A and B are shown apart, each in its own frame.
Chain A
Amino acid sequence: MATSVSYPTPGPGPAPVVATAGIQAPVQASLWSDAWRRLRRNRLALVSAVYLVLLVAVALIALVHTPYSYRDVGVARPYSGPSGANWFGADILGRDVLSRLMVGAQISLIVGVGTQVLVLAVGVPIGLLSGYYRGLFDTVVAFIINVFYGIPDLLVAMILLLLLGPSLNNIIIAIVATRWMDMARLVRGQTLALREREFIEAARSSGAKPAKILFGHILPNSLGPIIVQATFGVPAAILFEAFLSFLGIGVQPPTPSWGSMAADGLAAIRIAPHMVIFPSIALSLTLMAFNFLGDGLRDALDPRQKR
């Protein structure tokens, strides 16, 4: 990430004097190394990061190996609790809960990261353009954003899933449809503030094209808040998917999702509480880890911001 910021003194701070050719900004004082140093001091964020790395590892391992196939029924007695052969027990059809959790981690990560990639792809250009050019385009965008904010996200997502049909791609599309506004609004605000700064004016007066100004100067300077926003967006999307799958309109069986596993477990809460406990714990830990990491990143990237 640091390599993409090669021009002098990025980030918040006193407006930089326009760099004269030949003078390099001291590398060790860059925003990113500062942020990294602050992030390392935040224990909770580090623990969360370690957990998330482990989660990604588990999801990758599940690509090549799970203890049992996630869809094989009857590998253990239905509803049987944790044992040596099935660490997290078995579900209603005698499927191995651990294997299903591992595959569920893939689903959650795909949804969480996939939606944020799309949200970035949609929200960043819209925010940049409407903030930079303002005028009619900005008015139209602001109107659309307000309309989207007026309708509850769960309702929008449910209508979309109902009309498009439940599949992983459509879940991601439905979540993006309810989340892109946050990113567009953030980037628009950043752009509005940055476009008045001297270094942008300098770039403009030295003949830089709008595309160069937007993607070469404004975007790198607002990367901090964008990264923080995207980090918080991941758990929101994972939770959303769990919600939809819990209701039965998300990921369809036999593909496991932590949300649908919890829903299955709820039906058997008296006789097999492990069926609902393990997916709930996995989901809660993951959401908390992303939230703590987001908190840490926000503090690291923008130390002056009041919490």
Chain B
Amino acid sequence: MLTRGTLIYIGQRLVIIVFTVLVVSSIVFLGIHRLPGDALFNEHLHGTQYALILHHYGLDRPLWDQYTSFLSGLILHGNLGESLVNRGVPITPLVLREFTVSAEVGLFALVFTIGLGMTLGVVAAIRQNTWVDYVLTTTSVIGYSMPSFVIATFLLLVFAVWLDNLTQGTFYFQIGWTGRFGTIGEIWLPAFALGFPYASIVARLTRASMLEVIRQDYIRTARAKGLRETVIMVRHALRNALIPVITILGPLVIGIITGGVIIENIFGIPGLGKEFATSILNRDYNIVIGVFTAYAAMIGVANLGVDLAYVVIDPRIRY
């Protein structure tokens, strides 16, 4: 699987990712310094105090000078600077920690998307034109025509508010995050809300391609051989029905990453998305630059991962 060609391909892609990350952070860095507004404004600083802090952040130097030192810090030390609002907080460890939180939610959502979507799709295909099929198909129409934050809001309303009122507080979903990483009890609802719209798409695709596959000759042959129905469905049918699903894996992963921005803000998850919204509102421009840089890297790596997954799943693909 890991041929020399694949390794060269991975190397090339990594170079492109690094380049993209540098371009994105440069655009944001140079653009953001043109903006009006000032993170230090609220502190009502004057005179030498203000000048000292400006000097601390290097904001008194010419823009080009600031930019080159930002770029060299980023390339040589992976250093993204220091928060403007929470003075003394270095951004790189902060962003890395939030990245792992976002990745955790995203992976859970991906599990929901693929697992739930494929199960529903297969069940709907096997029970075609029964009430099971109709219920599942209708649910998936709702799933992909409603925006994710509406779905998330209604889930929150049902599980965190109404369930709480109904059971007098004995059983409900606790909004927010207690530890560094969420527990399963804290993560399942946001992951479900994030994955459900995409699960609907996966379910629709799986159903359509399963319907096509189970009518083919080799399935009839498998039945004639006397194989059990579950073996036929899982080993023979599902494998080939997977191919159209795999083709949307790329857009799916990107959708989950960007959709996570909203979901994290709704459910109070301390990930990159929450930091993004907070830092923009606080005008903490150094963090904004850092978050954008992290997102560009995350998306690049995710895309590469998807492309490599193709190689593993479909032996016909070679790089």
Contacts and interface: CB of A to CB of B under 8 A. Distances in A.
B299 interface: yes
B145 A243 contact: no
Given A262-B150, A269-B161, A270-B161, A152 B254 contact: yes
B32 A284 contact: no
A162 B261 contact: no
A283 B146 CA distance: 8
Most interface-central of B34, B149, B288, B296 (chain A CB within 10 A): B149
Nearest to A154: B258
A248 to B, nearest CB: 6
Interface string A124-147: 000000000000000000000000
A239 B24 CA distance: 25
Contacts of B28: 159, 162
A177 interface: no
A160 B7 CA distance: 36
Contact of A243 (B147, B156, B292): B147
Most interface-central of A155, A165, A265, A276 (chain B CB within 10 A): A155
A243 B149 contact: yes
B266 interface: yes
Contacts of B295: 155
A181 to B, nearest CB: 14
Contacts of B35: 162-163, 165
B18 to A, nearest CB: 15
Nearest to A265: B153
B102 to A, nearest CB: 14
A153 B255 CA distance: 10
B257 interface: yes
B288 A162 contact: yes
Contacts of A265: 153
Interface in B12-38: 24, 27-28, 31-32, 34-35
B280 A162 contact: yes
B265 interface: yes
A52 to B, nearest CB: 15
Contact of B147 (A242, A276, A277): A242
Interface string A243-265: 10011110000000001001001
A269 B162 CA distance: 10
Interface residues of A, number: 32
A231 interface: no
Interface string A285-301: 00110010000000000
Interface in A186-206: none
Contacts of B261: 154, 247
Contacts of B34: 163
A58 interface: no
B103 interface: no
B246 interface: no
B32 A163 contact: yes
A266 B150 contact: no
B153 A284 contact: no
Most interface-central of A277, A284, A287, A288 (chain B CB within 10 A): A284
B266 A284 contact: no
Contact of A159 (B154, B254, B281, B292): B292
B281 A248 contact: yes
Contact of A269 (B147, B156, B265): B156
Nearest to B255: A152
B157 interface: yes
B100 to A, nearest CB: 20
A305 to B, nearest CB: 15
Contact of B258 (A155, A288, A291): A155
B128 to A, nearest CB: 16
Interface in B201-246: none
B163 interface: no
B157 to A, nearest CB: 6
25 contacts: A154-B261, A155-B258, A155-B296, A158-B276, A162-B35, A163-B34, A242-B149, A243-B262, A246-B149, A247-B262, A247-B277, A248-B280, A248-B281, A249-B280, A265-B153, A266-B156, A269-B153, A273-B157, A276-B157, A283-B147, A284-B145, A284-B150, A288-B145, A288-B146, A291-B145
Given A163-B31, A277-B157, A283-B147, 9 more contacts: A152-B258, A159-B31, A162-B288, A247-B262, A262-B153, A269-B157, A273-B157, A284-B145, A287-B147
Interface of B: 24, 27-28, 31-32, 34-35, 145-147, 149-150, 153-154, 156-157, 160-161, 254, 257-258, 261-262, 265-266, 276-277, 280-281, 288, 292, 295-296, 299
Interface of A: 151-155, 158-159, 162-163, 165, 239, 242-243, 246-249, 259, 262, 265-266, 269-270, 273, 276-277, 280, 283-284, 287-288, 291
